[in-house]
Amino acid sequence: MKQAMDSLGQSMQASLSSMAGLSVPSEQLQTIQQEYLQQATELWNAALQHPDQIKASDRRFAAPEWNSQPGSAFMASMYLLNSRTLQKLADQLQGDEKARQRVRFAVQQWADAASPSNFLAFNPEAIKKAVETKGESLQQGLQHLLHDIRQGHMSQTDESVFEVGKNVATTEGAVVFENPFFQLIEYTPLTAKVHETPFLFVPPCINKYYILDLQPDNSLVRYLLEQGHRVFMVSWVNADESLAKATWDDYIESGVIKAIDTTRDITGADQINALGFCVGGTLLASALATLAAKGRKPVASLTLLTTFLDFGDTGIMDVFVDEAMVRLREMTLGPNSPQGGGLMKGSELAATFSFLRANDLVWNYVVGNYLKGEMPPPFDLLYWNSDSTNLPGPMYTWYLRNTYLENNLCKPGAVTVCGEPLDLSLLDMPVFVYGSREDHIVPWQSAYASTQLLSGPVTFVLGASGHIAGVINPPAKKKRSHWVTGSSVRQLPTTADAWMASASEQAGSWWPVWSDWLSEHAGGTVNAPRQAGSKNHPAIESAPGRYVLRKA
């Protein structure tokens, strides 16, 4: 323990030293100071001479109350000037790149939190509503705050409107297998004939599976059923103390590989098609490479949605991960911790992801829920986002070290999984890789990097919007766009930017492009099964099953 503490202390000292070495060149500092003084003077003079002409150009101050009151407009404009100046200073820092990223992130967090819109005394819109409702909005806001404290997270939607299995995760099916790690759902076919090659979804274990089956009009599961596929879904358990010592290998062997083998056993198929979403894609690719090392190739085609295989560029997430952070997690949650494991709480993970977009996913609700006493509107995606899941500590710490910290998965033989050296180049099946252009969790360039690691023919498609909204984009809604080239990996450029230069933008959802590609690898058609499961794997209960209902 002493050796671990000494090592941790050295790592933290190195991080602090790198922070201390940051500086802003004197020339840039002087320029920023001069620009600030000039703009502040102009703003002050405008406030004295033409106060009614001051407008704060930011959506946080878009309500008429901000710009109709000179004092509020001046305060908001001054805040925006201060925020811009701090960001300029952070951007001009020179020194260790990791330290520079952290300072920029910290400055942005502070600036977002310090907005006058977040404080009742400075928010004219909230004050006006409090006066008009004779304090009822403040009373309602306090009730919302107490409710959120009791439930352990901030309400981003009216959660009372939704119930899993009632109006989200409603596609008909049955649980046909379960073990301590997951339940396997087989969905009821929607066509008389189905493709010979069955299909398996592997969603992220960091969230519940039903992001892929929210409601009938935006369900990727239902869309695939309508295209004539026989569909199975992994529903990961929400880990509790019974899984506190579970490892990455456990999730590969008793999770993904077991799901693949069970799907094949139920359907009698030698090979299946499989899709991994986000961390589910990382798990799935790792499992398939492990099987390939054993001489097994049970998957005919692979789809990866917003998935990291090469963690060389993790975007904003990089600010959270360094040697000191990972060692601290290993000491408290890892297999060598005093308890031999533990749980990474879902609420902590959810809060981290929310603060990546703090104005949209944190302070927006502070103002609406608490200062104005409003209930956020019902939104299925945000309901799913609030339904957090725990992770076993050993599995989580292995993932942190070997992906975000050391980027080992893309290095042949750098890690061993289930007793086999991992080599992603063994994956030679056709692969469809999807990235989202505005993804702040898996930058699309990093999703594209997977195309250079796999040895089979690869198709890459880029969708508009972010990590979730870009993926859940049903064709019927005719929203957003996507970019395609139609090339296989043997013609794909080595860099994402070069690929983008050759791509063309197409209107609407990327789903039909994927569906057409998938049908080429799904074989002929056979009569749809009359019931879920098989003699060896009879139906256990109706979908969505018990595991998805377990709360963190």
Pair of tokens at residue 292: 């390939």
The closest of 186, 155, 543, 198 to 385, measured between CA atoms, is 155
Residue whose tokens read 């139609």: 486
The closest of 469, 414, 409 to 441, measured between CA atoms, is 469
d(CA 361, CA 382): 10
205 is catalytic: no
d(CA 172, CA 162): 17
d(CA 65, CA 74): 12
Name the catalytic one among 205, 278, 410, 418.
278
Q: Could you count the other beta carbons within 10 Å of the beta carbon of residue 72?
A: 23
Contacts of 123 (CB under 8 A, 6+ apart): 116, 117, 367, 371
Residue whose tokens read 């002409």: 53
- Please count the CA atoms within 13 angstroms of the CA of 540 that sit on its side-chain side: 16
The closest of 326, 346, 345 to 336, measured between CA atoms, is 326
Contacts of 180 (CB under 8 A, 6+ apart): 237, 242, 243, 254
Please give the sequence-ordered ranges of beta strands (E in DSSP) within 218-271, or none if there are none: 231-236
| CA dist list (Å): 491 to 53, 488, 498 | 56, 6, 12
d(CA 30, CA 370): 41
Residue whose tokens read 């880990």: 239
d(CA 41, CA 56): 16
Contacts of 9 (CB under 8 A, 6+ apart): none
Q: Which residues of 230-248 are buried (b: 16+ CB within 10 A; e: fewer)?
A: bbbbbbbbbbeeebbbbbb
Which amino acid is present at 298?
Answer: P
Contacts 24+ apart (CB under 8 A), 264-269: 264/198, 264/298, 265/534, 265/536, 265/537, 266/176, 266/177, 266/186, 266/232, 266/533, 266/534, 266/536, 266/537, 267/198, 267/230, 267/534, 269/196, 269/197, 269/198
The closest of 246, 217, 173 to 531, measured between CA atoms, is 173
Contacts of 26 (CB under 8 A, 6+ apart): none
Contacts of 68 (CB under 8 A, 6+ apart): none
d(CA 389, CA 206): 6
Rg (CA), the chain: 26
Return the active site residues.
278
